[in-house]
Amino acid sequence: MRLASVVGTFLLFCCGAMCAQEPCFADLVIVHGHLWTVDPQHPRAEALAIRGGRIVALGSDAEIAQWIGPATKKIDAQGKSVLPGFIDSHVHFSSGGGEISSVQLRDANTPQEFARRIGEQAKKLPKGEWMLGGTWDHELWGGTPLPSHDWVDALTPNTPVFVSRYDGHMAMANALALRLAGITRETEDPPGGTIVRDKDGNPTGLLKDAAMDLVYRVIPPPSEEQLLRMIHAAMDEARRFGVTSIHDISSTEDVRGYQILAARGELTLRIYCITPLPQWQAPATAGIRAGFGNDWIHVGALKGFADGSLGSTTALFEQPYNDAPNTSGLRNEMMLPEGNMLKMALGADKAGLQLAVHAIGDKANRIMLDIYTEVAKQNGPRQDRRWRIEHAQHVRPEDFARCAQLGVIASMQPYHAIDDGRWAEKRIGHERAKTSYAWRTFLDQGVRLAFGSDWTVAPLNPMTGLYAAVTRATLDGKNPGGWFPEQKLTLEEAIQAYTMGSAYAEFREKEEGSLTVGKLGDVVVLDSDLFSIAAERLKDAAVRYTIVGGKVVYEAAKN
């Protein structure tokens, strides 16, 4: 069928009898673009039209001209890329908004600079207010020494400090925060966590995984007003980068905040709320199933944790770490006692909820595949489970095919490869690194990829993710041809993972993820034609317009 025929059919469907009486015009058109639609039926076009929040036509400039009326907003793409809005499959959204205005430690490259920034931020805070966020990276100063409370205690006598490593699996508390949390040398390590101690057995302030909860439980939650400010700050960031939908690792407070903003008409992106797996009985009792909701907010996915992170040496591996042979990682507390994760997974799956479980180390990934296999055996076949593994970073060679057989979606963050690739082989050696961040192997085995950022662990900007997926050039400049280049993706494959792949992972592939007639009008217009620039320039491409439901929510300032 010719595109013009498809357009004409939808024209009648959209406008009904009114179209027989008078012309139907679009609310917004984009012309003179290089549209990569991610729709295999019509992969490329020059222009599109949106009416009533949905795409009503795709085609050439001449074909779309009929949709332009006196009130139609017209965007000239100037020959640059026009893509579906990016769908970030893994973010920590409200906390990301909060961290924007908190202490910035991500590029602090010495212990002295780390301490100085904390001291400067403390001067800005009211007495007793917690300093959070930070997202520090000790690998920037060679991996040792690890942060210690005595670096900052003299600078923060009245400010409780709890600043996290950028992966969220290790954090440093100052002496005041340790005192408020009641952590002393007598405090035992909690299941799934580690209290790091000095040679005399005293806590250094560094806490790993479940041990961090000892502090988190005494930090007061943000007020409703603070939460809404945090979400607004995060939405500002998302608009700037062309992110039109997110899969958010949400608390119940976050879900409430999103509902408030939706009722006010203030949401500028769509949200799939992924709530904690241990709370699975609440949605199950309410009869909620995966994908329940509307075009703005939907629910029904549950986030679990199998292990920690590579950078914190808490990701769970079959064999010990090369640079820390006394450990092979930690099981998350959700995996304890033995059988707890399976019990939760069985109940949630039987209720029709989606499982999205964090697994980074090869043993954690293997265990989760074992659990998914057992759930399918006990609960029986189900048409549309769409199990997810979040991160799926380090996988045994034999487990890629198992992912495909089980229909597991690999929800991955390509930026992690070019970040962790600076030092990952120091941790796990060359052989295990061969099947790390293995996007090509997953695709070749028939596994669906859903790409995201893990913001604020990594930058929210999808351009950095596309760059990472296509080049695998590590941030230290030591692998310009790509770190394990056999795992690179094409640009088309990377965009697909960031759009249709993520849409499928949230049960929304019929509504989002491609520029297709009838789908929601979520579109991004860039300042470059991604398909005509060198791969190393992808990270420098910027967004000119972000459009959600046919409305421009971001327009770059003109030079």
Rounded CA gap, 146 and 538, in Å?
34
Let me know if residue 14 belongs to a domain: yes
Let me know if residue 134 belongs to a domain: yes
265 conformational bin, left if phi > 0, alpha if psi -120 to 50, beta if neither: left
CA atoms within 13 A on the CB side of 360: 24
Instruction: Say if residue 157's pLDDT is above 50.
Output: yes
- β-pairing verdict for 47-51 and 44-45: unpaired
Find, among 158, 99, 166, the residue nearest to 133 by Cα: 99
240 Cβ contact list (under 8 Å, min separation 6): 543, 546, 554
What domain range includes position 548? 1-85+513-559
Task: Round the average pLDDT of the chain to a whole number and report it.
Answer: 94
Instruction: Say if residue 392's pLDDT is above 50.
Output: yes
Map residue 443 onto helix, strand or coil. helix
Rounded CA gap, 394 and 205, in Å?
29
77 Cβ contact list (under 8 Å, min separation 6): 30, 31, 32, 33, 34, 525, 544
For position 168, what pLDDT does the model report? 85
Q: Which residue has the tokens 């670096």?
A: 151
Q: How confident is the model at residue 133 (pLDDT cuts 50, 70, 90)?
A: confident
Q: What is the pLDDT of residues 171-217, one digit of tens each?
A: 999 999 999 999 999 999 999 999 999 999 999 999 999 999 999 99
> Final residue of a domain: which of 216, 239, 273?
216
Rounded CA gap, 46 and 41, in Å?
15
Mean pLDDT of 2-21: 43
Map residue 12 onto helix, strand or coil. helix
Q: What is the pLDDT of residues 261-281, one digit of tens each?
A: 999 999 999 999 999 999 999
Q: What is the pLDDT of residues 314-325, one digit of tens each?
A: 999 999 999 999
Mean pLDDT of 508-530: 98
Find, among 358, 370, 360, 371, the residue nearest to 316 by Cα: 360
For position 22, what pLDDT does the model report? 55
For position 324, what pLDDT does the model report? 96
Q: Which residue has the tokens 């991610």?
A: 38
For position 253, what pLDDT does the model report? 94
Mean pLDDT of 371-394: 96
Q: What is the pLDDT of residues 285-309, one digit of tens each?
A: 999 999 999 999 999 999 999 999 9
Tell me, yes or no, whether 111 and 209 share the same domain.
yes
Tell me, yes or no, whether 105 and 206 share the same domain.
yes
Task: Identify whether the C-beta of residue 525 lies closer than 8 Å to the C-beta of residue 30.
Answer: yes
Mean pLDDT of 328-356: 97
Report CA 229 to chain centroid distance, whole Å: 20
Q: Which residue has the tokens 């003179």?
A: 32
> Final residue of a domain: which of 164, 198, 216?
216
What dihedral do alpha carbons 424, 430, 431, 436 form, nearest 10°?
30
Instruction: Say if residue 526's pLDDT is above 50.
Output: yes
CA distances from 369 to 366, 383, 405 (A): 5, 18, 10
Let me know if residue 211 belongs to a domain: yes
Stretch among 1-5, 280-284, 426-430 having the lowest mean pLDDT: 1-5
Q: What is the pLDDT of residues 14-72, one digit of tens each?
A: 444 445 445 689 999 999 999 999 999 999 999 999 999 999 999 999 999 999 999 99
Of 17 and 349, the one with more pLDDT: 349
Instruction: Say if residue 7's pLDDT is above 90.
Output: no
For position 18, what pLDDT does the model report? 41
Rounded CA gap, 41 and 37, in Å?
9
How many domains is the chain partitioned into structurally? Answer: 2
- β-pairing verdict for 162-165 and 133-136: parallel
Q: Which residue has the tokens 């420098």?
A: 540
Q: What is the pLDDT of residues 212-262, one digit of tens each?
A: 999 999 999 888 998 999 999 999 999 999 999 999 999 999 999 999 999
Let me know if residue 121 belongs to a domain: yes
Q: What is the pLDDT of residues 407-431, one digit of tens each?
A: 999 999 999 999 999 999 999 999 9
The CA-based diameter of the chain, rounded to the nearest angstrom, is 86
End-to-end CA gap in the chain: 43
Rounded CA gap, 453 and 371, in Å?
26
For residue 108, what is the domain's CATH number? 3.10.310.70
Tell me, yes or no, whether 74 and 180 share the same domain.
no
Task: Identify whether the C-beta of residue 529 lies closer than 8 Å to the C-beta of residue 118.
Answer: no
What dihedral do alpha carbons 482, 486, 487, 490 form, nearest 10°?
80
Q: Which backbone phi and psi does 321 adopt, to 5 degrees?
A: -70, 145
Q: How confident is the model at residue 98 (pLDDT cuts 50, 70, 90)?
A: confident
For position 132, what pLDDT does the model report? 92
Tell me, yes or no, whether 101 and 198 share the same domain.
yes
Instruction: Say if residue 354's pLDDT is above 70.
Output: yes
Tell me, yes or no, whether 99 and 5 share the same domain.
no
Tell me, yes or no, whether 116 and 46 share the same domain.
no
Tell me, yes or no, whether 23 and 79 share the same domain.
yes
Q: What is the pLDDT of residues 45-57, one digit of tens each?
A: 999 999 999 999 9
Rounded CA gap, 329 and 209, in Å?
11
Quote the tokens at residue 450. Answer: 């859903």
pTM of the predicted model as reported, rounded to 2 decimal places: 0.87
Tell me, yes or no, whether 98 and 81 share the same domain.
no
- Look up residue 129 and give its DSSP letter: P
The CB density around residue 522, as the number of other CB atoms within 10 Å, is 35
